[in-house]
Structure 1
Amino acid sequence: QSIRIYERGEALKAHCDRLLKAAEDKVEKIRLSRDGKPVGTEPLDAD
């Protein structure tokens, strides 16, 4: 039973990692002009 629980945990971790990656891919950073006004977006560098 312990092995099944461990395997389930690993599967859940992989699933959560995929969901997190998909969410991170959707996040964007707002670009600002020199006067501080928003001018668009660009991909957010999560690193």
Structure 2
Amino acid sequence: MDESYFVGWGTLMLINAVLAQGKNRSGLNWFLLSLLLGPVATFFLALSEKK
């Protein structure tokens, strides 16, 4: 596989972790969830309300 694919996916994971922490959610959990779901996790996180 292309290295840029892994770099992009890793960057998305970090973005999701920071976004989750900004919404008072577990950054680690969302980081790991993003490993599996990627952009789908970002979509759900963006729609979620702040705790």
Query: Which structure features the higher share of strand residues?
Result: 1
More RCO (CA 8 Å, sep 6+)? 2
User: In terms of Rg, which structure is larger?
Assistant: 1
Query: Which structure features the higher share of helix residues?
Result: 2
